[in-house]
Amino acid sequence: MKKTFYLVALFILSNTLLFTSCSNDDANSTDISQQIAAIESNATSGDWVVTNFNDSGVDETSDFSGYVFRFDTNGTLTATSTANTITGNWSVTDDSNSTDDDSSSDSDDIDFNIFFSVPDSSNFADLNDDWNVVSATTTILELIDISGGDGSTDRLILEKN
């Protein structure tokens, strides 16, 4: 009789844990989807400038001086200066299921993806990455990338113009 009681108790406990963890995952998924939507909305609501770009400890902010970045709702990214226009693509994605080397904690479940189709020698090639979102407000977008090779950190901060 005791054996049956313990088996029933174990069954109930197992099912309780299973259903609790499933509903928690769904809540996290919804929360990330809402965060992604907010980041996309903020990014597309104006023009942005690079106020800090640190590439593995080297300040390269000046490489983007004079450029204004526009994130369009169709996924097009345009960087414009008085002398030049460079076009690329952008997106915001959920990285929580990724096996990327740069995914080290729950705080970097959202990626801000930037891609410019430029030669590797272009300054804009340095921006091509799946950046981890550190902070995103209506006026500041702070991104980092931790290299899977040597562990160095790149930091990109964009501010609304």
Whether 42 and 136 have beta carbons less than 8 Å apart is answered as yes
Each residue's pLDDT tens digit, 55-83: 999 999 999 999 999 999 999 999 999 99
DSSP bridge partners of 84: none
Q: Which residues, at least 6 apart from 13, have a Cβ–Cβ distance to it below 8 Å?
A: none
Q: Is pLDDT of 24 > 70? A: no
Q: Which domains are seen in the chain, by residue range?
A: 37-160 (2.40.128.280)
Instruction: Give the other-Cβ count within 10 Å of 45's Cβ.
Output: 12
Q: Is pLDDT of 104 > 70? A: no
pTM score of the predicted model: 0.77
Whether 123 and 64 have beta carbons less than 8 Å apart is answered as yes
Whether 103 and 95 have beta carbons less than 8 Å apart is answered as yes
Helix (H, G, I), strand (E, B) or coil at 69: strand
Each residue's pLDDT tens digit, 130-143: 999 999 999 999 99
Rounded distance between C-alpha atoms, residue 130 and residue 151, angstroms: 15
